[in-house]
């Protein structure tokens, strides 16, 4: 009996000693240090997302939720024409915005990296500042610019370039794309800049010495080498914009409504959490698959360029 107890005690002591040892090791210290933010993200991000995924398989039964497993919400989210249209439009908008943003931002990132000299940091600061200041306010500002009696229309009328205000500026998909592309411009520059900084300049010199012109040098060296940055910039813009709520609401009108507006409605007025959850999960899965396809496409393109 006492032998059993002492064996258990010594086993406990060994375990304590090994955990103590682990806690003092580099790995233990690392986990210990990162645990406050990690546990926070686990409890308030990973956990809640799992709850949303679970919700998407349940059914709203008036005020209560029926927790028997069903795929009904997904069927509704993916086949109901209104949701399908909203989903398609959101994907179209996010792909368009990410491509426009990256194409327009690339030359700027290139300029800062290759010609920024010692002012690179200041350039990056100047370019990223608008991104940090007032998300809602910037969208509001585009509404003021593009409105029927807005700055652009009244300005053009004042200059006698047009006689009637253009009604096609606001409340459509284009307005949504312009506003989002502007909102995310600065964010796309950072990954592009980082990858451009990594391009070995001696490769470009070597190509120049061997007689390659600037276009050929760019296509065969800079572009393939910065492909990781291009992919990162596309993803960093595409994934968040697919779920944008404010821009479609403020400048989209009824033709510019996106999936986030439908998701919000399910968690608000319509009060059908499981359907809202299924819409959210479907959107994330589809945008994830789309991102994957885009990455493969760009990696293939990279191989072709070389």
Q: Which of residues 197-236 bind another protein (CB under 8 A)?
A: 214, 235-236
Residue 174, CB-side half-sphere exposure with 13 Å CA sphere: 5
292 near another protein (CB under 8 A) = no
Question: Could you tell me if 274 and 79 are in contact, meaning their C-beta atoms sit under 8 angstroms apart?
Answer: no
Number of shown-chain residues binding another protein (CB under 8 A): 82
Nearer to another protein, 21 or 303 (CB): 21
Structure tokens at 83: 């949701």
Distance (Å, whole) CA 240 – CA 58? 26
Nearer to another protein, 78 or 116 (CB): 116
Distance (Å, whole) CA 132 – CA 186? 9
Nearest to 59 by CA among 48, 70, 46, 43: 70
264 near another protein (CB under 8 A) = yes
Nearer to another protein, 12 or 134 (CB): 134
Angle at 286 between CA 267 and CA 43, to 5 degrees: 55
Distance (Å, whole) CA 81 – CA 86? 8
**Which residue of 57, 58, 184, 273 would you call a contact of another protein, by CB under 8 A?**
273
Q: Give the x-and-dash track for 164-203 against another protein (CB under 8 A).
A: ------------------x--xx-----------------
107 near another protein (CB under 8 A) = yes
277 near another protein (CB under 8 A) = yes
Nearer to another protein, 3 or 36 (CB): 36
Nearer to another protein, 6 or 168 (CB): 168
Nearer to another protein, 149 or 163 (CB): 149
33 near another protein (CB under 8 A) = yes
Nearest to 87 by CA among 281, 231, 226, 293: 281
Virtual torsion, Cα 240, 246, 249, 251, nearest 10 deg: -90
**Which residue of 20, 125, 206, 208 would you call a contact of another protein, by CB under 8 A?**
125
DSSP secondary-structure letter at 42?
I
**Which residue of 52, 78, 203, 219 would you call a contact of another protein, by CB under 8 A?**
52
Question: Could you tell me if 280 and 260 are in contact, meaning their C-beta atoms sit under 8 angstroms apart?
Answer: no
**Which residue of 10, 21, 111, 285 would you call a contact of another protein, by CB under 8 A?**
111
Q: Where are the alpha helices (DSSP H) in 46-80?
A: 47-55, 72-79
136 near another protein (CB under 8 A) = yes
Nearer to another protein, 89 or 182 (CB): 182
């Amino acid at each position: 009996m006492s032998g059993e107890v002492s064996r258990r005690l010594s086993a406990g002591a060994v375990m304590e000693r090994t955990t103590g040892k682990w806690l003092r090791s580099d790995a233990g210290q690392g986990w210990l240090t990162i645990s406050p933010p990690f546990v926070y993200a686990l409890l308030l991000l990973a956990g809640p997302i799992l709850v949303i995924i679970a919700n998407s398989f349940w059914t709203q039964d008036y005020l209560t939720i029926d927790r028997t497993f069903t795929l009904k919400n997904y069927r509704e989210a993916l086949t109901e024409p209104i949701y399908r249209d909203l989903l398609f439009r959101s994907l179209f908008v996010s792909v368009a915005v990410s491509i426009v943003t990256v194409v327009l931002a690339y030359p700027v990132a290139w300029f800062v990296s290759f010609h920024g000299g010692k002012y690179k940091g200041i350039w990056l600061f100047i370019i990223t500042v608008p991104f940090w200041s007032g998300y809602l306010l910037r969208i509001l500002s585009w509404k003021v610019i593009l409105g029927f009696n807005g700055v652009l229309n009244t300005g053009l009328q004042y200059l006698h370039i047009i006689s009637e205000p253009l009604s096609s500026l606001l409340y459509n998909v284009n307005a949504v794309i312009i506003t989002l592309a502007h909102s995310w411009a600065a964010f796309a520059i950072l990954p592009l800049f980082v990858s451009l900084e990594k391009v070995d300049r001696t490769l470009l010199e070597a190509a120049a010495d061997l007689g390659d012109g600037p276009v050929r040098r760019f296509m065969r060296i800079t572009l393939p080498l910065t492909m990781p940055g291009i992919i990162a910039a596309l993803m960093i813009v595409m994934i968040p914009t697919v779920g944008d709520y404010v821009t479609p609401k403020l400048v989209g009108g009824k033709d510019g409504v996106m999936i986030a507006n439908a998701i919000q409605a399910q968690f608000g007025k319509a009060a059908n959490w499981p359907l809202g959850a299924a819409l959210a999960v479907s959107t994330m899965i589809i945008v994830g698959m789309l991102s994957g396809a885009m990455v493969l496409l760009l990696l293939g393109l990279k191989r072709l360029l070389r």
